[in-house]
Structures are given as C-alpha cells and as structure tokens.
Amino acid sequence: MNRTFHLIRGDLRQVTRDPMLAFYLLAPLLLLVVLRFGVPAGAMLLEERTGFDLAVHYDLILSIALFLTPLILGVMTGFLMLDERDEKLIDYYAVTPLSKRGYLRYRLFLPVLLSVVYSVFILTCSGLVPVRLWNMLMILPMAALSAPVMSLFLGAYASNKVEGMALSKGVGLLVFGPVIAYFIPFPIQALGAVFPAYWSSKAYFTGSASDLPAALLHAATGTLYHILLFRMLLIRFIRKTD
C-alpha cells in the first residue's frame, strides 16, 4: 500500500508540473461538456442556417467520443511511462519489492479505471441519445482495454517522448474506425476491422438498433481483439525495457 501511495503521489506531482498531462487528465470532462451543451447548440444553429439535421448522427458523435476518452487517457499514461523509462525509474522499480510487474499493474490499471468512469459519464450524462444498460455494458470492456493498449503502443514503439508525441498524433487516425463502421456499407466496411475502435462502434450501433445478436458478436470479437493487442504490446514493451 505504501508503495502504491508513493506512485500516486509521484503521479500527482508530475501532473501538476506538466500542463500537458493536466490537460489530458481533464480533457474527457471538457469533452463531456461539449457533448452536453456544445453539440446540441451547434446542431440547432446548423439546422437553422443550412437545414441539415445533425441530430440524426448523434450516435456517430457519441461513438467517436467513446473512442477519444480512452485514447486521451492512454496517451497520458504512455507519456508517463516514457518519462519513467527515460529516467530509469522502471529499472529501479524492477529491483524493489514493487517489481516491474507491480509497476505495470499499477500504471495500466489507472487508465482502465478512469476510462470506465469517464465512459459511463459520457454515455449517461451527454444527453445526446438514450443508451440501454446492456448496450453500455457491452461497450465498457473495450473502452477499458483501449486505454492500456494506447499506453503500451507508445511505450513499445516510441524511443522517447518526442517520438511518443509523433506517434500519438498518428494514433488519432484511428478515429476512422467509427466513421467506417457508420458510413461504409458491408462488406467493404470489414476493412475497418483492423481499427480497435471499429468494433466498439459497431457493437454500439447494432445495439442501438436493437440487434442484440449482432451487438453481442461484435462486442465479443472486439473484446478478444483488444485482449490480443494488449498481450502483444505488453510483451514488446517488457522486452524493450529489459
């Protein structure tokens, strides 16, 4: 417990020193405010000016927000891991009673917890569309796993924080997953299956359409895909820090 408290205290100190990390931590709350107040106001203005009804696409907007939340938290954690690797702190933790496994357990659990909490708030408090409980429960495992997948991706493929910044910008292209699942007809949209966010969006869309069998299939496949990505990236990260 003392070792965990030490890590938490160090994280809080690092977040208060680095405005970028503080922004990443608060960004999901800002996103929720935009969804709750900005999107409806913008939709109303857009319809008055152009006659375009943005409300019919609220499901797409919400699915993108559900992807952005773990992305933001995963990138934040990835930067922390890159800093700790550059400063040799991971090597230090590896020879303490905490161990490298304990360090990774703590470091990756935090974005999982925050992703679940923020995703629940976005689904229930955005007010864009009504969300069924069973649909939310199918999406949350993928939202929870997306954050550590993003963190490990940065840690496994970036040699330093500068490279991490470049990779984090490239990761933003994964937002095409929900767009492909929403606009591209089947079977061409199956090309989007390589994007993790495709599966969570597909499960959400089919669940919103009350197609429970399809929603369960996409949720199960997507969760398994996230687990495989997590395991692959974890192995690569551990090898890179050995």
In the chain, domain spans: 2-241
Q: Which token pair is 213? A: 């069998």
| C-alpha–C-alpha distance, residues 99 and 114, integer Å | 23
Longest dimension (CA), the chain: 64
Q: Residues 41-99: pLDDT tens digits?
A: 999 999 999 989 999 999 999 999 999 999 999 998 998 889 888 888 888 888 877 78
Nearest to 149 by CA among 31, 60, 235: 235
Residues of the chain with pLDDT under 50: none
State residue 2's pLDDT score. 59
pLDDT at res. 32: 93
Q: Which of 102, 89, 75 is nearest to 170 (CA)?
A: 75
CA distance 13 to 201: 36
Query: What's the pLDDT at 117?
Result: 93
pLDDT at 1: 54
Conformational region of residue 53, where left means phi above 0, alpha means psi within -120 to 50, and beta covers everything else: beta
